[in-house]
Amino acid sequence: GIPGYVKIVEVGPRDGLQNEKHIVPTAVKVELIKLLVSSGLPVVDATSFVSPKWLPQLADAKDVMEAIQNVEGARFPVLTPNLKGFEAAVAAGAKEVAIFASASESFSRSNINCSIEDSLTRYRDVASAARNLSIPVRGYISCVVECPVEGSVPPAKVAYVAKALSDMGCSEISLGDTLGVGTPGTVIPMLEAVTDVVPVDMLAVHFHDTYGQAMLNILVSLQFSRILQVFISINTSEYLIIYIWFIALSMGISTVDSSVSGLGGCPYAKGASGNVATEDVVYMLNGIEMKTNVELGKLILAFISKHLGRPSGSKAATSMSKV
């Protein structure tokens, strides 16, 4: 990425609205996406072309895509679990797609009804169809820290899935702490394992905030660095001086997923709360002088909490709208 720049991938219209009990009208979704784009967000997960039986909340995927066809200024990846979804997405005008695998076997079955290996086979087909049409593919990995059934997920398992997604041609891989239980103590070893097999500039982090750790996990991901080489040199002129040089060749993650108003959760991860709020992430990044191109004032006008009839899940947005 560009030094000092963090790319925010807004997932609210997809990860957020997929989890709402009451289905949000298409017109509200479209208005939300337009407001998010006008705040400067460069990428907005728009919807998912999944089975409407599994996820009635996003059954209007085609209508949403058609309504945002002419919206300029942002990219709109959509989730596609199989070729059927991919073809429907392309027919509706999608120019970018995302596939979503899991690092845990049980979660793979409850989310997409197949094993990890079967999902990777399916995704290879999607990725190759996408390549033929020059459509970029983002790869999500769920349960990178913990699975609701199996408990902690070994970092090697996450690295295995990341490598598979990278090998099939994903241009970006988003590491999802689906349950929002990670801390730097579990996130850092996971990042170490993944960056052993996939370049760090391909990676994004995707934190849910169930335990209030998301912002901290983002900060450690941005500042994450690996010491990849150690040089030792010895100067023997007068005294014996030993220099040890640590060279960090691999620097932090520069793509962060977040959701306006902290919307979200996954219908197949009971008890998991929303994603980290985009407003809070932008506020923090402004504070450490990282650029995002997002205008916080415009972002808090994204009216979705008014529509949902409950307070915003963003502390920054709540505080700013009181002033």
Per CB under 6 A, 49 contacts ligand HMG? yes
Closest by CA position to 174, among listed 323, 308, 45: 45
Task: Name the residue nearer to ligand HMG (CB basis): 48 or 213.
Answer: 48
Q: 15 or 60: whose CB is closer to ligand HMG?
A: 15
How far is it, in rounded angstroms, from Cα 69 to Cα 169?
25
Site size toward ligand HMG (CB under 6 A) is 25
Please tell me whether residue 100 binds ligand HMG under the rule CB under 6 A.
Answer: yes
Closest CA to 190 of 249, 144, 255: 144
Among residues 38, 51, 183, 225, which is the contact residue for ligand HMG, using CB under 6 A?
Answer: 51
Q: Is 280 in the site for ligand HMG (CB under 6 A)?
A: no
Is residue 303 part of the contact set for ligand HMG (CB under 6 A)? no
Min. distance of Cβ 113 from ligand HMG in angstroms?
4
Q: Are the beta carbons of 112 and 267 closer than 8 angstroms?
A: no
Q: Rule CB under 6 A: is residue 302 a binding residue for ligand HMG?
A: no
Q: At what angle do helices 83-91 and 116-132 cross, to 10 degrees?
A: 30
β partners of residue 235: 241
Angle, alpha carbons 4-164-105 (nearest 5°): 105
Site string for ligand HMG, 111-140 (x = CB under 6 A): xxx--------------------------x
114 counts as catalytic: no
Residue 15 interacting with Mg ion (CB under 5 A) = yes
Using CB under 6 A, which residues numbered 63 to 92 contact ligand HMG?
A: 79, 81-82, 84-85, 88
What amino acid is encoded at 251 in this protein?
Answer: M
Question: 171, 137 in Cβ contact below 8 A?
Answer: yes
- Asked whether the beta carbons of 180 and 213 are under 8 A apart, the reply is yes
> Which C-beta is closer to Mg ion: that of 94 or that of 143?
143
- Range in contact with Mg ion (rule: CB under 5 A) among 14-22, 154-162, 210-218, 283-291: 14-22
Residue from 7, 13, 18, 29 touching ligand HMG (CB under 6 A): that is 18
Among ligand HMG, Mg ion, none, residue 142 binds (CB under 5-8 Å by kind): ligand HMG
Q: Which residue among the candidates 143, 147, 170, 266 is catalytic per the annotation?
A: 266
Who contacts 91 (Cβ-Cβ below 8 Å, separation ≥6)? Answer: 62
Q: Which residues of 30-50 are buried (b: 16+ CB within 10 A; e: fewer)?
A: bbbbbbbbbbbbbbbbbbbbb
Is residue 176 within the footprint of ligand HMG (CB under 6 A)? yes
CA distance 305 to 35: 13
**Min separation Cβ 111 and Mg ion, Å:** 10
Q: How far is CA 273 from CA 31, 54, 72, 84, 267, in A?
A: 24, 19, 31, 30, 10
Closer of 84 and 131 to ligand HMG (Cβ): 84
Residues engaged in binding ligand HMG (CB under 6 A): 15, 18, 48-51, 53-55, 79, 81-82, 84-85, 88, 100, 111-113, 140, 142, 176, 178, 206, 266
Residues engaged in binding Mg ion (CB under 5 A): 15
- Known catalytic residues are 266
